[in-house]
Amino acid sequence: MFYKRTIPLLPGVLLVLALGGVAVVLGRAFPLIGSAVLGIFLGIVVRWRFPPAARFAPGIAFSSKQVLQWSIVALGFGLPIAEVAKTGIDSLSITLATISAAFLSALCFGKLLRVPGKLCVLIGTGTAICGGSAIAAITPVLKPDAHEASFSLSTIFLFNVLAVLLFPLLGRALGLSDHGFGLWAGTAINDTSSVVAAAYSWSESAGEYATIVKLTRAMLIVPVTLAIGAWVIARQRKDSPNGLLSSIGQAFPWFIAWFVVASAGGRFLPPSISSAANGLAPLMITAALTAIGLSTDLSKMRQTGWRPVALGLLVWISVAGTSLLVQSQSARW
């Protein structure tokens, strides 16, 4: 039985692994971009120029869903709850404020710009939490079209690059301290690699503080994903009141429960196991996002147009401005 289920997956999985391996090599050469973003773009280009045959479809679908969920569980080993707690509590009020600003602005501006609802949630979540990792976490729960996930990742990446270039310049113009800049970068820049790049270019102490703040922010991927799962369940219940139990079973993000177990229990495992899982997680995310790229229809992305990019810009400005405002009001500038 296992053999019969596995063999049809091999062509697509091998294709994903091959392209993902190329993305990892390119990601090391261009760390500012990162292998995950390069993976999804590589998948899009291959699909555009050399559309995979039907036999590749099962493995590509498996990689974009199951591997995606397993990668989020593996991420848990790199987020030790106890060690982050002290610094996390200090930054939590600003983090919660920026997350609220991200979702509120995504929903409000999304309606004004007439951006599809799921794409608003993807852009809002990616901006609020941790860029591509957050989008990867909610994709199995929200179940957007592949082109929506791709467009949201592209939008998040654009503002990650802008943040690395602009944040240090703006921080110096505003007269931020090392602590203040680290807090701003950790709560307002989307992706972890971009947080590290911007904060360490400011100073080593700002970089260390920003990294811990960012890890704390990334931990909120759990309640946010659960909240989105509850929203999906509620919508399904409204559409089919008699199918609530079935809806819960299908929509509840069980992999997030394992993420919590991994995060809480990682310190009890041998360091070699935790280190291996922590190192494997970004590779799995790259493979999964490469599969999403291979599933992306560029014609649908073209139909999406400029509006999601405008939405990403407005949400990004809202988050960065909210972080600075709360810092100034709480005398942590």
CB 39 within 8 A of CB 20: yes
pLDDT of residue 245: 47
CB neighbours (10 Å) of residue 230? 15
Residue 103, Cβ density class (10 Å: 0-12 exposed, 13-18 middle, ≥19 buried): buried
Q: Does 91 score more than 90 pLDDT?
A: no
Q: Does residue 238 surpass a pLDDT of 60?
A: no
Residue 14, pLDDT above cutoff 70:
yes
Q: What is the pLDDT of residue 303?
A: 63
The reported pLDDT for the residue numbered 106 is 95
pLDDT at 237: 58
Least Cα distance to 294 among 116, 141, 123, 150 occurs for 150
Average pLDDT of span 279-283? 84
- The larger pLDDT score, comparing residue 166 to residue 256, is at 166
Average pLDDT for the chain: 83
* Phi/psi at 115 (5° precision): -90, 135
Q: Domain residues of the chain, as ranges?
A: 2-329
From residue 152, alpha-carbon distances to 86, 159, 182 in Å are 32, 11, 26
Structure confidence by residue, pLDDT tens digits, 63-83: 987 887 888 788 778 767 776
Q: What is the mean pLDDT of residues 157-183?
A: 88
- Determine the Cα–Cα distance for residues 252 and 234; give it in Å rounded to an integer: 11
pLDDT tens for 299-319 read 766 666 788 889 999 999 999
pTM: 0.68
Percent of the chain scoring above 70 in pLDDT = 87
Quote the pLDDT of residue 244: 43
Tokens matching residue 114: 């007439």
pLDDT, tens digit, 9 for 90 and up, residues 104-162: 999 999 999 999 888 999 999 999 988 877 887 788 888 888 778 888 887 887 787 78
245 compared with 170, residue with greater pLDDT? 170
Q: Tokens 């009890």 map to which residue?
A: 268
Q: What DSSP string describes 16-39?
A: HHHHHHHHHHHHHHSTTT-HHHHH
Residues 54 and 10: beta-carbon distance below 8 Å:
no
Mean pLDDT of the region 168-195: 89
Identify the H or E element spanning 74. helix 68-75
> 151 or 324: which carries more pLDDT confidence?
324
Q: How many helices and strands (H and E) does the chain possess?
A: 18, 0
Quote the tokens at residue 41. 């773009």
For 10, the 3-state DSSP assignment is: helix
186, 195 contact by CB (below 8 A): yes
